[in-house]
Amino acid sequence: MSPPDEDSAATEDAQDRLQFLVLGHLAVLVLIATWGMGGNVPWSRTALQVWGSVGILLTGWVLWKRPFLGRDQVRPLRWLWPLAGLNALVLASLANPSFREMHLGSEVMLVRLGGHPWLPGSAKPVETADALWLFDAIFLSCFNLALAARHRRTVRGFLIFLVANALVLSVFGSVQKFSGALGPYFGAVITKQTHFFSSFIYHNHWGAFAVLMTAAGIGLVLRYLRRTDASGFWASPGLAGLVAVFFIAASIPLSLSRSGTLLVGLLLSVASLQFLLRLIRHRRRQGLPLGGPLVAAIMLAALTLGGAYKIAEPSILIRLAKTEEQLATMRGQGSIGDRLVLYADTWHMARDRPWFGWGMASYPTVFYSYNSQKPGVDRLPKFYWDAHSDWLQSLAELGFIGTGLIGLLGVIPLLSLRRRHPPGPVPAYLLGGCGLILVYAWVEFPFGNPAVVILWWICFFAAVRYSRLESSRENYSP
């Protein structure tokens, strides 16, 4: 039998090794996703699947090493049962195809077979299996953060890396924008999407990514503000965080993402109000006058807002003109346009297979037969790869059961955070950013971008782990 000191040393060694491997693996995954066109090109997607599979192996390593890691550290493994259920559902769907490829000379046609409508099915089993591989690789890689991070400072350090990466992407995208580049990487990459930004093909995907990173930056800034007085803050990392938040947030209107601009505006408004209330409470406790600091804070906010507007002014004016044009078209048609028809058609698709859906990644194949929109003036049919609503698309592809299982992957970890006091600014803003993207997913498809998916799950599990460490009596590190 090993002495207690040797057992403790073995546990510490296993925990340190796991933490190093998980954070290093996640860092590379983030760099591949964010700099590799958001993961929306074939080579980047394949790279994410292959590298993300290392995360699956790391989760297996935790299962193997769980006697050496401590009960508290491996407890989150119990949160994975919905993932097992989702995998069982999707794998079962591979045996129930609803379409078959027919070859007519050089042409390939898809013929609808129907399959068994009340069982899990798939339009294209190969594409379904490919999508499941990506989902598992991303989710388990991010989930490992909840297993590996040992101290709050470790989580903060990793968040600083994420925000710094987002800052570099923001600056790169801004320079690219002002240079008039016709495609990502100063035109080296050709894309049909004119509203690209930085290394992201679609500007609204950049907006969702930047909202998450802005939320992370605000949480870090407010944390440093809480732990220092006003004079000490300006010499702390909080000042650098404030600069990073400014440039990341300013890049959203510059990218022409209207919805992202609204979301980040809401986020910054809440943070500014929280800062002012904290300032007022602090001055009152100290018996100090409020006038001077309050005026200074308001002027700083006005200057920051004015600076952000000046940077993004041309883009803002373009989107305002486009919005006026779209509103005029809607008034002329007497409706909100094609988007409402798209949502209605997607709901009809989901309603026909409500329990298990048509299969993961089956939307573009199946929706073609549900699309009721008439061709435009060019007489070409309108094709949709995404439903422009992640929630509706999930219902159409996975049904209520599959969508519910994905929801439980988030709900169960949150239920583990039974606290008697509110969370600190870091987990609060991380979860706030995640919540904004979930709301946004009702009217757009942020989760159609692998980089956004990766950063969403990282922010979520970072918040959960940080909050658990805050409330743990065994954790004495800052």
Question: In a structure prediction context, what are the per-residue pLDDT tens digits for the chain, which is 478 residues long?
Answer: 445 555 566 667 777 788 899 999 999 999 999 999 999 999 999 999 999 999 999 999 888 777 666 666 778 899 999 999 999 999 999 999 887 765 555 555 566 666 677 889 999 999 999 999 999 999 999 999 999 888 899 999 999 999 999 999 999 999 998 888 888 999 888 888 888 999 999 999 999 999 999 999 999 998 887 766 555 556 667 778 888 998 999 899 888 888 898 899 889 888 888 777 776 666 666 665 555 555 555 665 565 566 555 555 555 555 555 545 544 554 455 455 678 889 999 999 999 999 999 999 999 989 988 888 876 655 556 778 899 999 999 999 999 999 999 999 999 999 988 765 677 899 999 999 999 999 999 999 999 999 999 999 999 999 999 998 887 754 444 5
d(CA 405, CA 86): 6
User: Which pTM value belongs to this model?
Assistant: 0.88
Q: Hey, is 335 helix, strand or coil?
A: coil
- CA distance to 138, 163, 201, 261, 339, per residue, from 34 (Å): 14, 12, 11, 20, 28
CB 458 within 8 A of CB 209: no
Amino acid in position 172: F
What the block records as the tokens of 40 is: 């929306």
CA distances from 182 to 125, 322, 439 (A): 37, 20, 32
What sign has the CA pseudo-torsion 185, 195, 387, 367? negative
Point out which residues pair with 111 in neighbouring strands.
100
Cβ(78)–Cβ(143) below 8 Å: no
Q: Any residues with CB less than 8 A from the CB of 429 and at least 6 apart, and which?
A: 215, 216, 218, 219, 222, 267, 271
Q: Determine, yes or no, domain membership for 357.
A: yes
CA–CA distances in Å: residue 335 to residues 343, 379, 388, 443: 13, 21, 18, 16
Tokens of 215: 């939320």
**Residue closest to 461 by CA, chosen among 424, 396, 398, 417:** 417
Number of domains observed in the structure of the chain: 1
**H/E stretch holding 112:** strand 107-112
pLDDT score at 213: 97
In a domain, 478, yes or no: no
Residue with tokens 């008439």: 374
| Distance in angstroms (rounded) separating the CA atoms of residues 176 and 198 | 7
97 contacts: CB under 8 Å, gap ≥ 6: 113, 115, 121, 122, 123, 124, 125
- Asked, for residue 476, whether it belongs to a domain, the answer is no
Structure tokens, 296 = 């200074």
Q: Which residues contact 459 (CB under 8 A, 6 or more apart)?
A: 212, 215, 216, 430, 431, 433, 434
Q: Facing residues of 112 across strands?
A: 99
Per-residue pLDDT at 1? 44
Residue 200: strand, helix, or coil: strand
Residues in the chain: 478
Q: Please report the sign of the dihedral spanned by the C-alpha atoms of residue 322, residue 328, residue 330, residue 333.
A: negative
Q: Are residues 72 and 474 in contact, defined by beta-carbon separation less than 8 angstroms?
A: yes
In a domain, 477, yes or no: no
Residue 59 lies in a domain: yes
Distance from C-alpha of 6 to C-alpha of 77, rounded to nearest angstrom: 26
CB 390 within 8 A of CB 445: yes
Report the pLDDT value the prediction gives residue 217, as an integer from 0 to 100.
95
Q: 408 exposed, middle or buried (CB, 10 Å; 0-12, 13-18, 19+)? A: middle
Q: Quickly tell me which residue has 């009721």 as its tokens.
A: 372
Angle at 21 (CA atoms; ends 33, 222), nearest 5 degrees: 65
Domain with 439, as residue range(s), is: 4-471
Within-domain flag for 297: yes
pLDDT of residue 81: 95
Q: Which two tokens stand for residue 241?
A: 């965080």
Tell me what pLDDT residue 105 has.
53
Would you tell me the crossing angle of helices 4-35 and 125-148 to the nearest 10 degrees?
130
CB-based contacts of 336, cutoff 8 Å, min separation 6: 330
Residue 17 three-state SS: helix
- Spell out the alpha helix ranges (H) of 234-290: 237-254, 258-285
Query: Could you tell me if residue 373 is inside a domain?
Result: yes
